[in-house]
């Protein structure tokens, strides 16, 4: 059963990042852990500033973590997307933070079609972002939820970068297996047909 669950589609992937605070914001200026690597960044979900890192992730369908990159919180998605897509090709779905026309054009030259909604919803043309894309992209939010709730990914006890990185790798492995088992048990096939449509779209765009 496990070998069957390990199957994934490398041509359909999702990219996103989640904040990893190393301490409470009120203690950030007194925190001595990671003082040479951590930085201040913006948590877009909570709409507040935090001190720590961002865990950038590339997820292959239906929920296989293929790349993870731990970067300081002030490093933008456009800089890290090259690291998490190195040596890959196919369709890549991102959120509004990945609306980067210059990066998207450069990635397309190496075989990666990065699709993302406009940076501002008010600037989004009608019917330019399909609900199908949104449903598929939400799978990475499920994985982030498993990392946070089941693996305690946002609880940092490590005092050096080596231990923090290895702990995140272990969390990623645990969350990956939990998500796939839950997906298999649910028998959900809602996004499967959508993935076929996305593959056709990627071939037309590329």
CA pair distance 47, 160, nearest whole angstrom: 27
pLDDT recorded at residue 63:
81
> Is residue 108 assigned to a domain?
yes
Tell me whether residue 145 is in a domain: yes
State the total domains in the chain. 1
**CB-based contact 186:10 (threshold 8 Å):** no
Neighbours of 195 (CB within 10 A): 16
Print the domain residue range for 85.
2-118+128-205
- Note whether residue 123 is domain-resident: no
The answer to whether position 26 is within a domain reads yes
CATH number at residue 61: 3.30.420.10
**101-116 pLDDT, tens digit each:** 999 999 999 999 998 8
Q: Cα-atom radius of gyration of the chain, to the nearest Å? A: 17
Residue 164, pLDDT > 90, answer no
Is there a domain that residue 179 lies in?
A: yes
Question: Model-level pTM?
Answer: 0.76
Mean pLDDT of 146-163: 79
Q: Is residue 66 part of a domain?
A: yes
* 151 domain-assigned: yes
């Amino acid at each position: 059963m496990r070998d069957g669950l390990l199957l994934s589609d490398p041509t359909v992937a999702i990219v996103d990042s989640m904040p990893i605070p190393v301490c409470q914001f009120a203690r950030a200026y007194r925190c001595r852990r990671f003082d040479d690597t951590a930085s201040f960044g913006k948590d877009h979900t909570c709409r507040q500033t935090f001190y720590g890192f961002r865990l950038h992730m590339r997820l292959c369908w239906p929920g296989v973590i293929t790349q993870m990159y731990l970067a300081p919180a002030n490093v933008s998605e456009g800089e890290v997307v090259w690291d998490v897509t190195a040596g890959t090709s196919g369709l890549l779905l991102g959120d509004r933070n990945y609306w980067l026309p210059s990066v998207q054009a450069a990635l397309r030259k190496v075989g990666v079609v990065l699709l993302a909604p406009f940076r501002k919803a008010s600037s989004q043309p009608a019917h330019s972002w399909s609900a199908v894309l949104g449903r598929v992209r939400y799978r990475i939010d499920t994985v982030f939820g498993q990392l946070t709730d089941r693996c305690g990914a946002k609880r940092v006890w490590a005092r050096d970068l080596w231990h923090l990185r290895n702990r995140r790798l272990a969390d990623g492995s645990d969350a990956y297996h939990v998500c796939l088992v839950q997906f298999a048990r649910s028998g959900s096939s809602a996004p499967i047909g959508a993935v076929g449509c996305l593959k056709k779209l990627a071939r037309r765009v590329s």
